[in-house]
Amino acid sequence: MSAVGNVASSARFAGIAARRADFPALHQEVHGKPLAYLDSAASAQRPQAVIDAMVAHERRNHANVHRGVHQLSQRATDAYEGARERVSRYINASGSDEIIFTRGTTESINLVAASFGKMRLEPGDEVLVTWMEHHSNIVPWQMICEQTGARLVAVPITHTGELDLEAFHRLLTDRTRIVAVVHVSNALGTINPVQDIIEAAHKVGAVVLLDGAQATPHMRIDVQALDCDFYALSGHKTFGPTGIGVLYGKRALLDAMPPYQGGGEMIRTVTFEKTTWNALPCKFEAGTQNITGAVGLGAAIDYLSGIDFAEVARHEADLLEYATERLSELPGIRLIGTAAAKASVLSFTLGDIHAHDLGTVVDMEGVAIRTGHHCAMPVMEHFGVPATARASFALYNDRGDVDQLVTGLNRAAELFL
Amino acid sequence: MNELQELYREVILDHNRQPRNFGEIENADRVVEGVNPLCGDRMTLYVSLDGEQVRDIRFTGTGCAISVASSSLMTEKAKGHSIDELRTLFDRVHEMLTGDGTEADVDLDEMDKLAALSGVRAYPTRVKCATLAWHALIGAISGSRDRISTE
């Protein structure tokens, strides 16, 4: 790395130090080393503003929502619905009634599979997924296919970890009812050409669900511009809390769909003869929801709204390039997933060192990475590895984190190779 | 000794590089598959019995250094022992790997090379890597199950 390059990059990313300061968890030592948190794809850290919003809500405003006439219930309802409004504006839904709060991406997908899938799928129909899906975008479809007699079809991926688009177009037929695709792959970082996928799917009359869990931390989403039918995302990948997520759905589809779970909140009237459903979005929110979680997600959206994603994209692209370059110098390194369009995720193996040993050794250097199959066993099968190590970079990481990772990997190489 | 060397002792590195008793046994009396769903570690254990005695024991599979070394050390130790002796050994190894270490409940000298595995106690996320082989052993000598999972 030349001195000139360092100066240029530090000038370009002058905002990074300030951004790091927003995330208290980053400023600690692990095993006597400064923490290099490179596991944001598993769960991102939260800015102080998110923590503060949740604490303030818990301390002053907690009550059940949509229930009481008292002051606290009103405040809690305002906070909860305010969060829904923020999400709606942030992803450019056509209205906040298209935003369903769930426990996370997994529940969002399960909701669509159980409700829309049950309503729509018949024997002989097909659900199209891909080989790079997270298990949460495979298993719910497998389950509903088993119940309805529909068939689950998977689009293969190439040796670089990109979708085989030729195969996609071949497998997309007039039998395809649902196309469920990951926007950004958690195991490979691949950014899929979702716009083209959506257009092609709509031409055969299929609806499209995008698993956006890994996309929202890296880019602004505009669901109307994408014209996707469903979009699923998680709070905790998006610098918010765990236990809260979102399902966006087009109003007409959500309106036609039967409820997912029964209970309070989702009903209009209940008698023992007949129950009528509440309007959107409450129809899909049975029971008391994760109110504080929604407040935290709302605060995360506020935080992200103040961020220039073009700058984040440049910063993350620089980190990915730097990390790719530094790791490529290591003897025995194999990068898994080298797509042209890629988010800042680096999956790799080092010699024949098992990923878990790598994870433990770099942890001793203060570096947090994910090791294992990343809930994407078909991806591991495709690349013929039992597991990989994965470093994922978020808007708060810097080149120092990469250097620390390389130090840790060198240590692992000394020990095992 | 630093923390890493405490976990990855020379014995473990050696057994990981050159696992003993690695391979299949044709016509084994007992074949047990052990999986650690969390890590994806996978091993198959083959046991030939001579009455109540383990005549031969071998394993195949993939896993981390701890898991491979533990399998290798386990097979080395188990060969020639009776089923009863191995049950007792299992209890002691289990105690060594999962006990809180506050009491001298396991005599590490007596454990011989197996004592090298005791470093995992400080790494709760790695304990299952070490116990997998031993659970497979118990499954095999009990003859009750042909699939062992750490979860």
- What mean pLDDT is reported for chain B? 88
Does the residue A346 lie in any domain?
Answer: yes
pLDDT above 90 for A232: yes
User: Exposure string (b/e) for A334-372, b if CB count within 10 Å is 16 or more?
Assistant: ebbbbbeebbbbbbbbbeebbbbbbbbbbbbbbbbbbbb
Q: Choosing among A360, A375, A380, A407, which should be mutated to test the B contact, i.e. which has the most B CBs within 10 A?
A: A360
- Of A279, A305, A331, the position where a domain reaches its end is A305
All domains of chain B in start order, with CATH? 3-143 (3.90.1010.10)
Residue A8: the pLDDT is 41
Contact B39 A372 (CB under 8 A): yes
Taking the C-alpha atoms of residue A88 and residue A99, their distance in angstroms, rounded to an integer, is 6
Largest CA-CA distance found in chain A, in angstroms, rounded: 77
Does the residue A205 lie in any domain?
Answer: yes
- Of A252, A286, A305, the position where a domain reaches its end is A305
How confident is the model over A322-331, as a mean pLDDT? Answer: 98
Same domain (yes/no): A256, A376: no
| Active-site annotation of A, residues | 375
Same domain (yes/no): A277, A349: no
| CB half-sphere exposure, A221, CA atoms < 13 A | 27
Taking the C-alpha atoms of residue A162 and residue A156, their distance in angstroms, rounded to an integer, is 9
Same domain (yes/no): A321, A241: no
Contact residues, chain A, for B150 at CB < 8 Å: none
Contact B64 A361 (CB under 8 A): no
Residue A1: the pLDDT is 37
Q: Which two tokens stand for residue A286?
A: 């049975």
pLDDT above 60 for A235: yes
Q: Which two tokens stand for residue A196?
A: 């083209």
Contact residues, chain B, for A411 at CB < 8 Å: 4
CA A364 to chain centre: 28
| A402, A406, A411, A414 alpha-carbon torsion, rounded to 10° | 170
Question: What is the tens place of the pLDDT at every residue in A157-185?
Answer: 999 999 999 999 999 999 999 999 999 99
Does the residue A60 lie in any domain?
Answer: yes
Taking the C-alpha atoms of residue A217 and residue A222, their distance in angstroms, rounded to an integer, is 14
pLDDT above 50 for A2: no
How confident is the model over A127-155, as a mean pLDDT? Answer: 98
Q: Under a CB-based contact definition with an 8 Å cutoff, are residues B36 and B64 in contact?
A: no
Same domain (yes/no): A85, A118: yes
Residue A36: the pLDDT is 98
Closest chain A C-alpha to B39 CA, distance in angstroms: 5
Same domain (yes/no): A323, A386: yes
How far the first Cα of chain B sits from its last, in Å, is 32
Q: Is A360 on the interface with B (CB under 8 A)?
A: yes
Same domain (yes/no): A283, A349: no
Residue B105: the pLDDT is 58
Closest CA to B73 of B24, B2, B132, B139: B132
Contact residues, chain B, for A376 at CB < 8 Å: none
Residue A10: the pLDDT is 42
How confident is the model over A251-260, as a mean pLDDT? Answer: 97
Q: Which two tokens stand for residue A177?
A: 């009812």
Same domain (yes/no): A217, A346: no
Among chain B residues, the shortest Cα distance to A389 is held by B39
> How many domains does chain A divide into?
2
Which residues of B sit within 8 Å Cβ distance of A? 3-4, 7-8, 13, 16, 38-42, 62-67, 123, 126, 129
3-state per-residue secondary structure call for A348-377: EEECCECHHHHHHHHHCCCEECEEECCCCH
How confident is the model over A312-338, as a mean pLDDT? Answer: 97
CATH code, A21: 3.90.1150.10
Question: What is the tens place of the pLDDT at every residue in A70-83?
Answer: 999 999 999 999 99
CA A211 to chain centre: 7
> Which residues, at least 6 apart from A216, have a Cβ–Cβ distance to it below 8 Å?
A233, A234, A237, A238
Does the residue A115 lie in any domain?
Answer: yes
pLDDT above 60 for A5: no
Q: Which two tokens stand for residue B17?
A: 């590089």
The count of CB pairs under 8 A between chains A and B is: 44
- Of A305, A336, A371, the position where a domain reaches its end is A305
Contact A387 B40 (CB under 8 A): yes
Taking the C-alpha atoms of residue A183 and residue A196, their distance in angstroms, rounded to an integer, is 12
Of all helices (H) and strands (E), which one includes residue A347? strand A345-350
Of residues A127 and A4, the one with the higher pLDDT is A127
The band of B111, judged by pLDDT with boundaries at 50, 70 and 90, is confident
Q: Is A34 buried (19+), middle (13-18) or exposed (0-12) by CB count in 10 A?
A: middle
Contact B62 A356 (CB under 8 A): no
Does the residue A35 lie in any domain?
Answer: no
Backbone angles phi, psi at A103, to 5 degrees: -80, -20
Residue B42: the pLDDT is 87
Does the residue A41 lie in any domain?
Answer: no
Same domain (yes/no): A297, A361: no
Same domain (yes/no): A301, A317: no
Residue B3: the pLDDT is 82
Residue B124: the pLDDT is 87
Contact A364 B3 (CB under 8 A): yes
Name the DSSP letter for residue A173: -
Q: Under a CB-based contact definition with an 8 Å cutoff, are residues B33 and B139 in contact?
A: no
Does the residue A129 lie in any domain?
Answer: yes
Taking the C-alpha atoms of residue A49 and residue A54, their distance in angstroms, rounded to an integer, is 9
Among chain A residues, the shortest Cα distance to B123 is held by A360
Contact residues, chain B, for A415 at CB < 8 Å: 4, 8, 13
Cis check: omega of the bond before A281, within 30 degrees of 0: yes
- Give Cα separations from A66 to A86, A169, A259, A397, B24 (angstroms): 18, 46, 19, 40, 64
Domain extent for A317: 3-30+308-416
Same domain (yes/no): A94, A153: yes
Q: 3-state class of A378 per DSSP?
A: helix
Task: Tell me what percent of the residues of chain A surpass a pLDDT of 90.
Answer: 89
The band of B107, judged by pLDDT with boundaries at 50, 70 and 90, is low
Closest chain B C-alpha to A147 CA, distance in angstroms: 26
pLDDT above 80 for A369: yes
Taking the C-alpha atoms of residue A178 and residue A229, their distance in angstroms, rounded to an integer, is 10
The band of A68, judged by pLDDT with boundaries at 50, 70 and 90, is confident
The band of B39, judged by pLDDT with boundaries at 50, 70 and 90, is confident
pLDDT above 50 for A13: no
Q: Under a CB-based contact definition with an 8 Å cutoff, are residues B54 and A345 in contact?
A: no
Q: A61-75, A331-345, B106-120: which has the minimum mean pLDDT?
A: B106-120
- Give Cα separations from A397 to A23, A112, A314, A356 (angstroms): 11, 34, 13, 23
Q: Which two tokens stand for residue B101?
A: 């270490």
Backbone angles phi, psi at A264, to 5 degrees: -70, 165
pLDDT above 90 for A3: no
Name the DSSP letter for residue A157: B
Angle at A167 between CA A162 and CA A169, to 5 degrees: 110
Same domain (yes/no): A295, A320: no
Question: What is the tens place of the pLDDT at every residue in A135-144?
Answer: 999 999 999 9
> Which residues, at least 6 apart from B143, have a Cβ–Cβ distance to it below 8 Å?
B30
Contact B64 A356 (CB under 8 A): yes
Residue B81: the pLDDT is 95
Task: Tell me what percent of the residues of chain A surpass a pLDDT of 70.
Answer: 97
Which among B3, B38, B64 is the nearest to A354, CB-wise?
A: B64
Same domain (yes/no): A399, A300: no
Q: How large is the ipTM?
A: 0.88
The band of B1, judged by pLDDT with boundaries at 50, 70 and 90, is low
DSSP for A292-328, please give it. Answer: HHHHHHHHHHHHHHTS-HHHHHHHHHHHHHHHHHHHH
Residue B40: the pLDDT is 75
Q: Under a CB-based contact definition with an 8 Å cutoff, are residues A291 and A76 in contact?
A: yes
Contact residues, chain B, for A387 at CB < 8 Å: 39-40
Question: What is the tens place of the pLDDT at every residue in A282-319?
Answer: 999 999 999 999 999 999 999 999 999 999 999 999 99
Q: Choosing among B39, B121, B151, which should be mutated to test the A contact, i.e. which has the most A CBs within 10 A?
A: B39
Contact B66 A355 (CB under 8 A): no
Taking the C-alpha atoms of residue A106 and residue A232, their distance in angstroms, rounded to an integer, is 8
Strand locations in A111-184 (E): 126-130, 151-155, 176-182
> Which residues, at least 6 apart from A96, have a Cβ–Cβ distance to it below 8 Å?
A81, A84, A85, A87, A88, A281
pLDDT above 60 for A6: no
Of residues A365 and A14, the one with the higher pLDDT is A365
Of all helices (H) and strands (E), which one includes residue A255? helix A251-256
Contact residues, chain B, for A371 at CB < 8 Å: 39
Does the residue A163 lie in any domain?
Answer: yes
pLDDT above 90 for A4: no
Strand locations in A109-249 (E): 126-130, 151-155, 176-182, 207-211, 230-234, 245-249
CATH code, A91: 3.40.640.10
Residue B99: the pLDDT is 80
Of all helices (H) and strands (E), which one includes residue B31? strand B30-36
Residue A379: the pLDDT is 93
Among chain B residues, the shortest Cα distance to A362 is held by B4
